[in-house]
Amino acid sequence: MNKIFDMLTVRPQYITDNSGKKISVVLPIKDFKAIMEELEELENIRLYDEAKESDEPSVPIATAFEMIEAKRKSKSK
């Protein structure tokens, strides 16, 4: 099923204050998890786009891991 279609079928329940103003939302955990996954994917896309637009040089992933590990070891001394 299309993820966007799934998002449109979310049926939240609302908690209201004494005047009837919506103050909170209650969702089934399945819907909440689906929304969180979509937000994470959107954040990853945003970070990717940001990295592509930056002037910083790219580093192969293996090199990046080596740099991180070396930095971690130097901090633990």
What pLDDT score was predicted for residue 4? 53
Residue with tokens 């979509």: 38
What pLDDT score was predicted for residue 23? 98
Give the number of domains in the chain.
1
What pLDDT score was predicted for residue 77? 65
**If the chain, 77 residues long, is cut into consecutive pieces of 10 residues, what is the mean pLDDT of each piece?**
58 94 94 90 93 86 93 83
Residues paired with residue 24 on neighbouring β-strands, in sequence order: 15
Say which amino acid occupies 47.
Answer: L
For 46, the domain range is: 3-75
Q: How far apart are CA 46 and CA 39, in angstroms?
A: 10
Q: How far apart are CA 52 and CA 58, in angstroms?
A: 9
